[in-house]
Amino acid sequence: MVSETDLEILEAYLDDELSAGEVVRLDQRLACEPALAAALQSQRSARAVRAAVFKTTEPDDASADYFAGAVLASVRRRAWNRRLVRASKIAGAVAASVVVGVMIGWVGRGRGPEAPVASSFPHPVNTDGRLVAHTPKPADGGQTYQVALTDENGNVIAVQKFSKVEDARQFADDLGQYQARRQQVEEGRPMLISDRF
């Protein structure tokens, strides 16, 4: 009777997994142990049958070639499809961005940034309509003087403060002269360009 260990050694021998020393020792044992030699022969036969069975699972050359061609066509097709999907995604993203941009522009049309209603020193050029500088009035208990600027409808759109009443009057006079010249230009009347000289 051959032990399990010896059977494993015989398998390793047939699998070519024994070292040179182990092979020598096994050959010596095989020469003088008929049961071990018979077990080796039995294993060899079983292995030959299995090898023949494994061989039958191989396809013939034509089938193998056909299969290889089909696999290569399949992987090429998949690669092409993947490129197509990637390109579609990019095109879709661009189209979506354009649509969103157009929609934002459409919804927000005519809503530009509004002009400042009043500033600390409103320049007449930056305002629409006529500005009228009113007579300076004392404010803060007589410490400062302020000039109210109103539009054509009389709405106060800015107030300019001065520490001296002379400065306030000068500002009101300058603004009045500016408005008068602007009105002349708009109405096409001739004006003296060098009126300051």
Partner 1 sequence: MSVEETSPDLPVSPAQTAALFEQAVRVHSRRLLAIARSIAGNRASAEDVVQQALTNLYEHRDRYDWREPGGLMRRAVVNEALRILRQPRMTMVADDHPGHFSPPDGGMLDRETIDKVRAAIDRLPEHFRAALVLCEYENMAYVQIAEVLGCSVPQVKTWLHRGRKQLARMLEEFMSREK
The footprint of partner 1 (CB under 8 A) covers 4, 7-8, 11-12, 15-17, 43, 46-47, 49-61, 63-65, 67-68, 70-72, 74-75, 78-79
The Cα–Cα gap between 127 and 124 comes to 5
CB of 80 to partner 1, least distance (A): 12
Q: Which residues of 19-50 are buried (b: 16+ CB within 10 A; e: fewer)?
A: eeeeeeebeeebeeeeebeebbeebeeeeeee
Nearer to partner 1, 70 or 139 (CB): 70
- Element containing residue 70 per DSSP (H, E): helix 61-107
Identify the CA nearest to 22 among candidates 10, 31, 33, 38: 10
Nearer to partner 1, 55 or 196 (CB): 55
CB of 79 to partner 1, least distance (A): 8
CB of 53 to partner 1, least distance (A): 5
Nearer to partner 1, 41 or 97 (CB): 41
The Cα–Cα gap between 179 and 152 comes to 12
The Cα–Cα gap between 181 and 173 comes to 12
The Cα–Cα gap between 10 and 38 comes to 11
Nearer to partner 1, 49 or 193 (CB): 49
- Element containing residue 180 per DSSP (H, E): helix 165-187
CB of 36 to partner 1, least distance (A): 16
Nearer to partner 1, 46 or 191 (CB): 46
CB of 95 to partner 1, least distance (A): 29
